[in-house]
Structure 1
Amino acid sequence: MSKTVNNPDIPAKNFKIVVAYDGTGFFGWQRQADKPTIQGELERILSIILNQDIKIHGSGRTDAGVHARAQVAHFHAQTRLAPDTIQKGVNSLMSAPIVIHDCRLADPDFHAQYRVISKEYRYYILNREIPAAMGRDYLWHVKPTLDIDTMNHCCEYLVGEHDFKAFENTGSPRSSTVRTVYSAQWTKMPDDKLEFCICASGFLKNMVRNIVGTLKDAGTGRISPEMFKKILYSCERPLAGATAPAQGLFLHHVNY
């Protein structure tokens, strides 16, 4: 049974939350009637704590298996509970790998999606012959040695305003496939790991994973930087590489 609050003595407030989650085992961020999702679990727990139907709005969707270190969302509620009380309540009742790192009051007109200036994603590759025994849900195991200099050469073509249709999978509504990439770079990490960091005004469906899959082809010598550039400008998805696995991708930060 749905629960609503209509007491004029209880003020309606807008809450902003920052959420981290392990996307393994979830069918993405967006609520689905018959499948476990991040949004669905948060709404369920918040509705229990606040004793009313809560609908949250995220900064954007993450796909099945994708993780987040700092997803941002907001929700409205009529309550006298303090933000830190709500935060502690959710983290206490939540059995899923979802944690609210921050909960605070926001301006009444704050919207987690429409106020976004840019987002930063990070992708992780384990680049060696031997796979990982632990942590394999958080990276992509690639056996052939990758040429990081070539991959970073390709990244130079990503920076700026471009039509990224060549790196978009179908299935998500959008008014335009043009986005602005502010930075994109690979970095070598300890223990044979590579980190890809990309910051942009927004992202198309599977855009980061498709870019990573195509950069991997450049790193193995399958395509050259010049071919990568042509793929970008072609706006033809079939020319780009395969979609990289979801488990290596993290929503790292959202800028407002």
Structure 2
Amino acid sequence: MADVEIQKQRIAMAIEFDGRVFHGWQQQDNATSVQAELQAALLAVEGETVVTVAAGRTDSGVHAEALLVHADVSSARWQRSHLAYLHGLNSRLPDSIRVVGVRAVKADFHARFDCRGRTYRYLISNRNTLSALHRWRYFWVPRALNLEAMQEAAAHCIGRHDFSSLRASGCQAAHAIRTMSKVDVSRDGFAISIEVAGDGFLYHMVRNLVGNLVEVGLGKQTPEQFRELLAQQDRSRGAATAPAHGLYFIDALYDDFSASDLIGKS
């Protein structure tokens, strides 16, 4: 008797993870990745290999609050209970990864190619002692930072520009032109948050931006010098790359929803 074809349902999942224990999102040989752990959980639920596709890759040590991922799963199993499906996945994932929201999407939906924009947040701990609690959540900068100067410099990134000056040497993008809709720098007590939203990002772009903004905050670079750096389109003239552990992927935007919309919903 021929095998009965299992009807599939494409779903979108918002994934939260602690990046310090992973070598990034993408599955790779001889390294622990978020994708490999998620696909192992899906295999346990589905009984067959399930391929996942994410809105973007994250580097080793980078965290996520709502990375959007799509996968094709059993329609019957999904329809029985969306909430049970979410909890079933989470029960098979390590504590460092959680599916925080799910929804059904069209069969041709693509987490990467349909994404209209991505948002990242970078956190800096600006106090004179290293935190015991936030050591792997913030970039520690013990010297005082000039928030106003950082905000002035960040404003030069808004709009459509060639961001070659913030592009790492290993970047495989065809070009460095991107459109930034938000580059906000704010302070809450000791914590400085840099939130960046745009239509796409280059390899290490946010971390290179933060490295330069920290130099501006320390008075090693003026906001005008940062503007000139962007115009020069020369990465070699920029500041050092900020560490990965302060960076969070926090949202992916689509035509009718965003990854953060899914948090707590199923």
TM-score (norm 2): 0.91
Pairs within 5 Å for 1:210-229: 210-229=208-227
Report deviation, 1:12.
1.7
C-alpha distance in 2 between matches for 1:7 and 1:114: 33
AA of the residue aligned to 1:210: N
Report deviation, 1:7.
4.6
**2:99 alignment counterpart:** 100
C-alpha distance in 2 between matches for 1:178 and 1:202: 9
C-alpha distance in 1 between matches for 2:119 and 2:239: 21
Contact 2:13 2:103 in 1 (8 A): yes
**1:243 alignment counterpart:** 241
Report deviation, 1:253.
1.1
Residues 103-152 of structure 1: CA distance to partner in whole angstroms, max 9, x if unpaired?
22110110000111111111111111111111211001101110010000
Q: Which is worse superposed, 127-136 or 210-219?
A: 127-136
Compared CA separation, residues 146 and 52, structure 1 to 2 (3 A): same
Give the count of matched residue pairs: 250
AA of the residue aligned to 1:109: D
Unaligned runs of 5+ in 1: 1-5
Pairs within 5 Å for 1:16-165: 16-82=12-78, 83-165=82-164
Q: What is the aligned-residue identity percentage? A: 30
C-alpha distance in 2 between matches for 1:169 and 1:8: 49
AA of the residue aligned to 2:239: G
C-alpha distance in 1 between matches for 2:163 and 2:117: 16
SS in 2 for 1:250: strand
C-alpha distance in 2 between matches for 1:13 and 1:176: 35
Contact 1:126 1:139 in 2 (8 A): yes
Unaligned runs of 5+ in 2: 255-266
Report deviation, 1:85.
2.7
Report deviation, 1:172.
3.6
TM-score (norm 1): 0.94
Contact 1:38 1:98 in 2 (8 A): yes
After superposition, the CA RMSD in angstroms is: 1.3
Residues 220-255 of structure 1: CA distance to partner in whole angstroms, max 9, x if unpaired?
110111110111111111111110011111111111
SS in 1 for 2:194: strand
**2:192 alignment counterpart:** 194
Compared CA separation, residues 14 and 7, structure 1 to 2 (3 A): farther
Is 1:208 matched up with 2:206?
yes
**1:3 alignment counterpart:** none
C-alpha distance in 1 between matches for 2:106 and 2:75: 16
C-alpha distance in 2 between matches for 1:49 and 1:10: 14
Compared CA separation, residues 172 and 40, structure 1 to 2 (3 A): farther
